[in-house]
Amino acid sequence: MAEDLFAKDADSAEARAAAHPDWRAPMLATLTDERFSDRGWIYERKFDGERVLLFREGECVRLLTRNRKDVSSTYPELAEAVARQPLHDFVADGEVVAFDGKVTSFARLQKRMQIKDADDARASGISVFYYLFDLLHVDGCNIEGLPLRRRKSLLRKCLRFRDPLRYTPHRNETGEKYFQTACRKGWEGVIAKRADAPYRHGRSRDWLKFKCARGQELVIGGFTPPDGERKGFGALLLGYYEDGVLCYAGKVGTGFDDAFLENFRKRLESRRRQTSPFAPVPDETDAMWVRPDLVAEIGFTEWTENGKLRHPRFLGLRRDKAAEDVVRERPS
C-alpha cells in the first residue's frame, strides 16, 4: 500500500521505511496572544478533551495518553472502531471528547476518564468521540517529515471516518475570522498550524494556541479544610514548576460537586505530607500539604501581578500530563 500512497509523490523522499513504533511523543502547541491569518497556515478547532495517540499494528490497538497511559479500556468503543479499519499499520494523533450540547466538555469527559473497566465504561451513558487530526506512520513508513497538509490528506484517504471516529476539518488562511467564530460558539479556541511543517515531538511554535478563555494545568500541592456545612475540603492549593521549584499560584474553591469533594478528600489524605511542597511556603491558614503528583485543569480570568490566579475555577483532573512537566504558560 505504501507504494500506492507515495507513488510519484514529490514528498516521498520524506517518507522513510520504519518498523511500527512502540511510542511517539506528541507535538504540542505554544500559547500566543497573537491572532493572524496566513495562507501558509491552517486553523483547527481546539477541543476541550484528552489528547490520545492511536497505535494500530495488526490486531493490536493501543490508545495512549501523552504520558503513555493506556486508556483502551476507558474508551473501548474507540478501540473497537479502530479495529474495524481496513488499514492495519498506522499511528495517528487526536483528541477524545465528550459533548455537552454542541460544545466539548472536559467536566463531562472527566466522569468517563476515571473508569478503567471496559464494561463499566460502556454502561456509563457518556458518549465519546475521537477527533483525529494527524498521521505519523502508515503501512511501514514514518511520514512525520511530510508537510502537515500532506499528512492530513493521507489521514483522510487511509481511514474510514464514521462515529465515533471523526476527521478534524480545518480552515485555510482565515485564522482571525475562525477564532471569532470559535469564541462566539463557546469553543475552547483554535489551533493554528504551519501547513508545510513536519511533525515535531514536544512543544513547537509551528503549532500555536488561540484560546477564547484562559486556562491551564496546575499541580495540586495541598488543600484547606471545609467551612460550615461544606464536605471534603475547602480549596485546593495550586502551583507550577519553574527552575525545578514548585511555585504557588493560589487556591481554587469552586467547580466541585459534593460527590467529588468527599471522594477526592480520600485521595488527598493518601498523599498527606508534613512539609509544604511549595517554595516559598504560602501563607495559608490551616493548610494541609500533599505529595504534588496530581494535576488539575483550571480556568481563570488572568494572572495577577504577583503571579496568582484571578477567579480560578476547577474544571477537572488531568491524567495525561506528569506533574513535573507543568509550567506557567506565558503568551509568546
CA distances from 157 to 150, 294, 309, 314, 330 (A): 10, 39, 44, 40, 37
HSE-CB for 43 with a 13 A CA cutoff:
21
Q: What does the DSSP 8-state code read for residue 323?
A: G
Reference 38, options 179, 185, 214; nearest CA is: 179
Q: State the cell numbers at 59.
A: 490486531
- Asked if 233 contacts 265 with a C-beta cutoff of 8 angstroms, the reply is yes
CA angle 50–303–32, rounded 5-degree value: 60
Q: What does the DSSP 8-state code read for residue 278?
A: B
Neighbours of 258 (CB within 10 A): 10
> If phi over 0 gives left and psi between -120 and 50 gives alpha, with beta otherwise, what is residue 275?
beta
**Catalytic-role residue among 46, 193, 211, 251:** 46
Cα separation, 294 vs 271, in Å, equals 10
What phi and psi, each to the nearest 5 degrees, are found at residue 160?
-100, 120
Residue 11 is which amino acid? D
Does residue 46 have an active-site annotation?
yes
Q: Catalytic residue positions?
A: 46
